[in-house]
Amino acid sequence: MGPIGKLKLGQNPLAKTTIAAAAAVFILMNFIVIASAADGPKLEIFPSQKVQRKAVGQAMILTCRPNVPSPNLVSDLTWKDNMNNTILPKPHQIYQPVYDSKGHRIRQNTGRQPPMFTEYMAGTDSLALIINHLSVEMEGKYYCTASYATNEILETSVTVKTYVGITWTNAPENQNPILGEDYVVRCEVKADPTPTIDWLRDGDPIRTSEKYVVETNGLLIRNVQESDDGIYTCRAAVLETGELVERTIRVEVYSRPVITYLPDTLEATEGKPFSANCTATGKPVPEISWIKDSTHQNVAAADRFQVNPLTGVLNINSVTQDDYGTYTCLAKNDAGMVDKKTKLNVLITPSIHYLYNVTGDSGKEIALTCRSKGRPAPEITFRRWGSDDEYAAGTQEEDPRVILEQHFDEEKGESSGTLRISGAQRSDDGLYQCLARNTGGTAYATGHITVQFPPDFSHMKDLPPVFSWEERKVNLTCLAMSIPNATIEWRWNGKPLKDINDKNLEIIGTGPRSDLIVHPVARQYYSVYKCVATNILGTSEIDIQLKEARVPEPVPAAQPKQLTATSITFDIRSPPVEFGMPITAFTVQYKEATNPDWATAMNRSWSPDSPYIVEGLKPQTMYHFRFAARNQVGLGMWGVNTQQSTPKRSAPEEPKPLHSPVQNDIEEPVVVSPYSDHFELRWSVPADNGEPIDFYQVKYCPGVKMAGTWHELENQCQSVEVADSTSYEMSRLAGNTYYRIELRAHNIIGFSSPASVIMKTTRGIDVIQMAERQVLSSASIVGIAVGGVLLLLFIVDLLCCVTINMGVMASMCRRTKRSPSEIDEEAKLGSPNGWRFPKPNCSGQLVKEPPPSPLPLPPPVKLGGSPMVSPSDEKQPLQTPTESIKQNSTVEFDGKFVHSRSGEIIGKNSAV
């Protein structure tokens, strides 16, 4: 039987894995035809080589299988080692779980397997010898023996030879030489037999040169540079065994640290946070530390200090005098270490230790004093709270009443400042901020100047009277402005209210605010009440009037301002009102003139600042209207009984575009599109005048202005109908071009008057700037275009006539040569050159439309008669000539104004 093949196992494989692999080998063997027993009974060892060469430390499996006619007669199948000792089977082990059901370890997995053992392969008659870890001592000859038919001994052997594989002893995969120095890339290996070593970089062999020297223990690189970064390959080979192993080594060049920034002197301020920076370069990025020289302490471990080892930033939360001294910045990486020294000076920030609030009377002098300490002695100034403007030393130019006095004591490090205000006023009352400033910083403190003044009711002079009605309780509030606070007393009819025992008059509070609750159960309570405020500086009083409120007077006038077939807008004049009792709403009642009962009339209310529009009316109907005003008390009396008839149904009012034109020149205003190739037109819904609007017509034409006259390019006009929308986006527009847009609304009666907008697109990025030149007039352009087209047609027709005897000139020549009978016959049947047939061109094919002219052509000239109009072309009702019938006056509403026009509007059922 031939060899099955070698089974290569990894280092220290598990027994189960080895057995499974061996079982797979024997399953494959079952598909091989067993050789006949003609050679006689014998034992076979797989792999079949007589000498098995394996590296020390590897695992191996040898399988012994009887090749006999009757396998059931085989007994005592045994393996013997190189010392002729019988190799025992693998001992049976009882499974004990290492972990419990919750995943907790309950015992140590101390199970060990013997170095070699035998095991029967499942489903076969083979006995496997399994060696988990091959050693040098296991080298030698191994025997497999068995008994056959009780009297025949079968035996075979295999020789196991070992060798020491290639092992790396000193070959780190990452190595870091120092920039500018010589370095040996280490690669030491052992094997038996001795291996040979060679080097490669990026796949190319490295030879000994001025730059590289291949040594026994590695590769010497002279004067290392950053360009020596890369991947190096150390290759070890054993020629006797054919073993070849490669080691990939990543070489990254490091550079020693260098401190690039650290000032020689640093200044910090006592009590303030401080930050200093020590910058260093190197590869890898150096780790930076700060050392205080006087204590030899790394300040990163001290309180109040923080050091960022990557950026070198030193932060001190709050500087003290003890922080003064010399510090060393130390930068260190794997390539080396460097240091540099600096000195830290500590400044004393200002501190304000004296500032008290002051109080003074109006008209007298007030002084606010502030004292501070610091080194150098701080400069002291003041400013009003909320203002950035500081008072200057001496008299203030803006207000001579204010003087700032300053005093300094450099020896003691003290200073003071006094703000004096003569003739104090109420406006001087408020918060003042003292600022003490030196090179170490600025200190702030806030004091208050209180200016005392007698009671004042100037803030209540313009307040309206207080109103009440239907015996409702009302609150009369009196607030006196004064320092110190004033005491409030109420008087009525010259008597103090505290002396009047009236349960309908209740006083709450005695100052500086006091409320008088009045329950006006009788008309006598609608009167004037006096509030008297008193403090140590004087007395002031104010009268508060309580009035009885009433409903508004009748509306004096209401005139129709705008009319449509279904709505009327009124101009309502408000009745006179009392100060403090404004009109809150206007109400209208309206009914048809044929309805005598106002109880069934319709109602509509408006706020005073809204348009007064009555909607949902019937066309051509007479209505009666009456108006009333409403305030907090209620609805006033009805007034202004008037009647008004709505006009008949008509075309919609003119829609209003929702765009704000810009007056950018002396011409009419222009709407500027934010885009160069499209524009969205938006408009508001106009009044439909009795018939619903079914669509809007948008027409837009490009054009130019020449000599102050608008010239449209009619052959480029586009017209669209928009339904169920109040916007339309015009696309594929030309950049930097003017367009005239006409917008009309349509209902079943007809079109509204057009709303016109001039729109200009922006200049696109593909627009080419051209130099200005003399522009021809529109008449000249049209004349040149028409002349050019006619001349081109004449030349084409002349060529057709000369070459193929076809065209207009050829037809005229043939017509002059025909008999009268032929002419009459053609008139009956219709000429091939008439309107019934298309005119052939010189090639005999139909004439194609000429390409559009780059310049606008004049509109076609109508030669007498009435043009034929198909029903599908009719967009507006026919107009009745004014000379044929009597003219009627119609009223139309455009959403803003009422227009009176002559002539009758044909309705939707008009016959045409």
Residue 635 is classified by DSSP as: B
Question: Which H or E run includes 386?
Answer: none
Q: Does the structure show a pLDDT above 50 at 581?
A: yes
State the chain's mean pLDDT as an integer.
81
Please name the helix (run of DSSP H) or strand (run of DSSP E) that holds residue 730, with its range, or none: strand 727-730
State mean pLDDT over 225-238. 90
Question: Does pLDDT of 817 surpass 90?
Answer: no
Is residue 865 scored above 80 in pLDDT? Answer: no
The 8-class DSSP code of residue 376 comes to S
- Say whether pLDDT at 271 is over 60: yes
What pLDDT is recorded for position 191? Answer: 82
Give the residue-averaged pLDDT of 16-43. 50
- Whole-angstrom distance between the N-terminal and C-terminal Cα of the chain? 114
CB 167 within 8 A of CB 190: yes
pLDDT the model gives residue 899: 42
Q: What does the pLDDT read at residue 813?
A: 64
pLDDT digits (tens, 9 = 90+) for 158-192: 999 888 878 888 889 999 999 999 999 999 888 87
* Each residue's pLDDT tens digit, 752-798: 999 988 888 998 764 444 444 444 555 667 778 888 888 888 888 88
From the list 656, 651, 745, the residue with the least C-alpha distance to 690 is 651
Largest CA distance in the chain: 153
pLDDT at 107: 61
Average pLDDT (818-843) is 40
**Amino acid (one-letter) located at 364:** K
Per residue in 190-205, is it b (16+ CB within 10 Å) or e — as a string?
Answer: ebbeebebebeeeeee
Check residue 803 and give its pLDDT.
75
Looking at residues 838-856, what average pLDDT do you find?
A: 38
| Range from 56-70, 186-200, 252-266, 813-827 carrying the lowest mean pLDDT | 813-827
More confident residue, 542 or 880: 542
The confidence score (pLDDT) of residue 815 equals 56
What pLDDT, on a 0 to 100 scale, did the predictor assign at position 109?
A: 55
Does 894 score more than 90 pLDDT?
Answer: no
Q: In the block, which residue shows the tokens 């005592």?
A: 76
pLDDT over threshold 90, residue 260: yes
Among 161-175, 348-362, 555-569, the minimum mean pLDDT is found in 161-175
pLDDT at 225: 92
Task: Check residue 426 and give left, alpha or beta (phi > 0: left; psi -120 to 50: alpha).
Answer: alpha
For 317-328, the pLDDT digits (tens) are: 999 888 988 999
* pLDDT mean over 59-84: 89
Which of 191-205, 508-522, 568-582, 592-606 has the weakest average pLDDT?
A: 191-205
Is 90 exceeded by the pLDDT of residue 622? Answer: yes
- Compute the half-sphere exposure of residue 838: CA atoms within 13 Å on the CB side of its CA: 9
pLDDT (0 to 100) of residue 419: 95
Which two three-digit tokens encode residue 559?
A: 């005139």
**Pairing status of strand 695-706 against strand 738-746:** antiparallel
Mean pLDDT over 140-154 rounds to 89
Put the strands of the sheet holding 679-684 in their side by side order.
656-657, 679-684, 727-730
**Which residues have CB under 8 Å from 39's CB, separation 6+?**
67
In the chain, what percentage of residues exceed pLDDT 90? 46
Residue 269: which residues within 8 A CB-CB, separation 6 or more?
319, 346, 347, 348, 349, 440, 441
Angle in degrees, 0-180, between the axes of helices 808-817 and 778-804, rounded to the nearest 10: 50
The alpha carbons of the chain give a radius of gyration, in whole angstroms, of 57
Higher-pLDDT residue of 108, 839: 108
Other CB atoms within a 10 A radius of the CB of residue 58 amount to 18
Q: Span 356-378, mean pLDDT? A: 91
Bridge partners of 560? 570
Q: Which two tokens stand for residue 896?
A: 């803003």
State the pLDDT at residue 393: 93
Q: Return all residues near 888 (Cβ < 8 A) that are at least 6 apart.
A: 902, 903, 904
Pick the residue with more confidence: 443 or 511?
A: 443
- Region of poorest pLDDT, from 21-30, 170-179, 610-619, 673-682: 21-30
396 CB burial (10 A radius; 0-12, 13-18, 19+): middle
Mean pLDDT confidence for 127-132: 90
pLDDT confidence of residue 413: 80
Query: At a CB cut-off of 8 Å and minimum separation 6, what does 880 contact?
Result: 903, 904, 906
Q: Please report the pLDDT score of residue 110 as a whole number.
A: 52
pLDDT beyond 70 at 665: no
Q: Above 90 in pLDDT, residue 521?
A: yes
Q: Does 37 or 561 have the greater pLDDT score?
A: 561
Residue 185, pLDDT score: 92
Q: Is residue 636 predicted with pLDDT exceeding 80? A: yes
pLDDT at 74 over 70: yes
pLDDT tens, position by position, 374-408: 878 899 999 999 899 999 999 999 999 999 999 99
Residues 6 or more apart in contact with residue 345 via CB below 8 angstroms: 265, 266, 267, 268, 324
Q: Which of 490, 587, 566 is nearest to 533 (CA)?
A: 490
* Whole-number pLDDT of residue 911: 27
Could you give the 3-state DSSP secondary structure of residue 301?
helix
- Asked if the model's pLDDT at residue 311 lies above 70, the reply is yes
690 — pLDDT class (breaks 50, 70, 90) = confident
pLDDT at position 882 is 37
Per-residue pLDDT tens for 704-748?
877 767 788 878 899 999 988 999 999 999 888 889 999 999 998
The SS3 assignment for 627 reads strand
Rounded Cα gap, residues 459 and 22, in angstroms: 108
Name which residue leads in pLDDT, 799 or 839.
799
**687 close to 893: Cβ distance less than 8 angstroms:** yes
Note the pLDDT tens digit of each residue in 87-123: 998 887 666 666 777 666 766 555 567 889 998 888 7
- Measured CA distances, 127 to 26, 59, 78, 90, 159 (Å): 11, 17, 8, 12, 17
